[in-house]
Amino acid sequence: MRTDSSPGSLPAREHLPAAGAGTPVLDVVVPVFNEERDLGPCVLRLHEHLTRTFPYAFRITVADNASTDGTPHVAARLAADLAAVRSVRLEQKGRGRALRTVWSASDAPVLAYMDVDLSTDLNALLPLVAPLISGHSDLAIGSRLARSSRVVRGAKREFISRSYNLILRGSLQARFSDAQCGFKAIRRDVAQVLLPLVEDSGWFFDTEMLVLAERAGCRIHEVPVDWVDDPDSTVHIVRTATEDLKGVWRVGKALATGSLPLDRLARPFGDDPRDRDLAGVPQGLARQLVGFCVVGALSTLCYLLLYSGFRHFAGSQPANALALLVSAVANTAANRRLTFGVRGRGGAVRHQAQGLVVFGIGLALTSGSLAALSAATADPDHSTELAVLIAANLAATVLRFLLFRAWVFPDPPPTAPAPEPHLTGSHLPDPQRTWSDAR
């Protein structure tokens, strides 16, 4: 996973300012590899559609991924014939590499890409980029799995696509519905921050970028699309699926270990209303309670299994202490990341030390309960021990949540918002200046 420095924090969302004359608002990248037959009709159709329907200046960039057929000559001819088309040649294959190269060098404020087969109906292009221009969203994706999408494709591809997205939801907690549709857009200022953190250079590039964007708090807009499968597609399904699963494992491992520096992607205060300090509005209490209960249920199950195992070769008190210690370390780590949203390794040792103090309190409660049970009954059966321990753990759980929230993982102190700039007449936007001037 990449850990090199990113350009800085993600920018606050705002409506894109009017571009200067001749500067494209949108740069649509068409990555190709040995597509000499389809490239010409694709670019001509896309150019005609944008000229007829798109109200802003645009550019079409053909990104040639080391083609060995006549694709470079077709791309060069299109660039010579159409002023809004340019061609970029890469000597290495990889769709992700092509998108990273072109997007990193583009001067357009909105960057998009689509597959050369144009399986997605082009009428979805303006709805795709409009939320990025307005400042409402950071990224936009076409979705073939939305309820109102109309899709024509075989059962095999349908099964693979839905299975892959279920894997993403289950393993990486992804909330977007379709990671593989070749129809996406991103604001350039957001891309400049995200791209240095994206490691993949192939087909998993899209998924990795979306997962990082979602974890960083970016807003992803989804557009239902009409999509018709290309029966002549050259994508190798098995190899692509294998590489995607490897990518899921790599990103999941990086997120679980905290090696991905997502803390550098925090948005400026005030952009997200959840960051605001509002009187009388609890800061994520409901979400924290749900997360804590889920983690607590799993760690309690783990504790009971460990206790039952340790009890076979140790007394009740040593078994209780060992089981509680192991489950407490795991519980603190899980609550740190999942319940209270602490990312990275900073403060992890201190949090575990504080968690051990909380563990000591829980140990006192459960050990005291066992001591009281032993005093009351000379030889209590195993089921009675477990019942007493469950009751004691419930009491310890309530206390643990309160201590975690107030002491181990307290909310950061509120940050005073920056003073609003004083707008004078020379700084006010010109109401006569519109996006159409860019054309």
Of 306 and 279, more confident: 306
pLDDT at 58 over 90: yes
CB 27 within 8 A of CB 62: no
Supply the DSSP symbol for 13: P
pLDDT tens for residues 210-227? 999 988 888 999 999 998
Tokens for 259? 């090696």
78-92: average pLDDT: 94
pLDDT tens for residues 123-158? 999 999 999 999 899 999 999 988 899 988 878 888
Radius of gyration of the chain (CA): 27
CA 58 and chain centroid, separation = 28
Q: Where would I find the H helices in 258-381?
A: 285-310, 316-334, 348-376
Confidence of residue 12 (pLDDT cuts 50, 70, 90): low
Beta strands in 76-161 (DSSP E): 85-90, 110-114, 139-143, 150-152
Confidence of residue 427 (pLDDT cuts 50, 70, 90): very low
Q: Report the percentage of the chain scoring pLDDT > 90.
A: 31
Supply the DSSP symbol for 214: H
Supply the pTM of this predicted model: 0.63
Of 96 and 361, more confident: 96
Q: What is the mean pLDDT of the chain?
A: 82
Confidence of residue 122 (pLDDT cuts 50, 70, 90): very high
72-93: average pLDDT: 94
CB 230 within 8 A of CB 204: no
State residue 265's pLDDT score: 65
Q: How far apart are CA 61 and CA 320, in angstroms?
A: 65
**Has 379 been annotated as catalytic?**
no
Of 260 and 322, more confident: 322
Of 286 and 120, more confident: 120
Catalytic residue among 138, 178, 200, 206: 206
State residue 274's pLDDT score: 58
State residue 233's pLDDT score: 60
44-53, 364-373, 425-434: range with lowest mean pLDDT: 425-434
Supply the DSSP symbol for 93: -
pLDDT at 272 over 80: no
State residue 278's pLDDT score: 56
